[in-house]
Amino acid sequence: MNSKTPVIQLKNVSKTFGEVRSLSEVNIEIYPGEIVGLLGDNGAGKSTLVKTIMGFHQPDEGGEIWFKGEKINEWNVAKARELGIETIYQERALCEQQPIWRNMFMGREIKNKFGRLNVKQMKSEATRLMSEHMGFTSTAVHPDNAVLTMSGGEKQGVAITRALYFDAELVILDEPTVGLSLSETKKTLDFIQNIKKSGRSAIFIDHNIFHIYPAVDRMIVLDRGKVAGNYKKSDITMDELIESMYRVARTGSIKE
């Protein structure tokens, strides 16, 4: 495991929407086997950063994205996923009128070499995943059911399970535990530990420092589009971190 080359590296990435500059000159790298926590107030630009990494947003002129040491020019979501980046988006990214199995394999459908979809396999895989990875308490989890009829937490379950299925090099979780019950939250946090154990990387976004701190190796704090701090866990205690988060919120600066 060569931890010298980052799995993903952003150089000077900015992103502007109209008059709003959501990211400004962000430099970030994630190394193999590393779990990085991303913290920041509402509107700090965390989700924008995630979507830029995924190629959903194109960075402004001058920003560069490097994957495993290679500069990538035509970056898009399909390519990112193919290279092994999976994301659980904050907005879940589900197609709610579609059955669970279609959502599970959205964008990466199983097909045979002639391009014919293997619907049967997708359904059975979906059933397996849903019952193995997420234990549902309601009756609405047959793979043919539309996502529409599921509860908020169940939907989140689909989005999480989907990201697990494809053994990704880098998993990005944008507030994944939102709306999950205690036991499901625990499962998700366990899952993050498994990523690390298997030598893969993750970016973990959450508002709950109690969730983030125990799970990660390193924390990056975003404030109004800028990287305001970057701590190894060994360098900062949870209390110091909370203290410094409040400070950022108050003064906009990490330093006293």
Ligand X SMILES: Nc1ncnc2c1ncn2[C@@H]1O[C@H](COP(=O)(O)OP(=O)(O)OP(=O)(O)O)[C@@H](O)[C@H]1O
Under rule CB under 6 A, residue 242 binds ligand X: no
Contact region with Mg ion (CB under 5 A), list: 7-15, 17-25, 86-94, 223-231:
86-94
- Coil, strand, or helix at residue 228? strand
Q: Could you say which of 69, 152, 214, 252 contacts Mg ion (CB under 5 A)?
A: 152
Assign 3-class secondary structure to 192-216.
HHHHHHCCCEEEEECCCHHHHHHHC
Q: At what angle do helices 152-165 and 119-133 cross, to 10 degrees?
A: 110
Query: Which one-letter DSSP state was computed for residue 169?
Result: S
Which of 28, 245 has the CB closer to a copy of itself? 245
Q: At its nearest, how many Å lie between another protein and the CB of residue 246? A: 9
- Among another protein, ligand X, Mg ion, none, partner that 94 touches (CB below 5 to 8 angstroms by kind): another protein
Under rule CB under 8 A, residue 224 binds a copy of itself: yes
Residues in the chain: 256
Identify whether the C-beta of residue 172 lies closer than 8 Å to the C-beta of residue 88: yes
What 106-113 contacts at long range (C-beta under 8 Å, 24+ apart), as own/partner pairs, is 106/162, 107/77, 107/78, 107/81, 108/81, 108/166
Q: Could you say which of 16, 24, 90, 98 contacts Mg ion (CB under 5 A)?
A: 90
Q: Could you say which of 56, 83, 207, 254 contacts another protein (CB under 8 A)?
A: 56
User: Which residues are near a copy of itself by CB under 8 A?
Assistant: 17-20, 22, 40-44, 47, 90-91, 136-140, 149-154, 156-157, 175, 178-185, 207-209, 223-224, 242, 245-246, 249
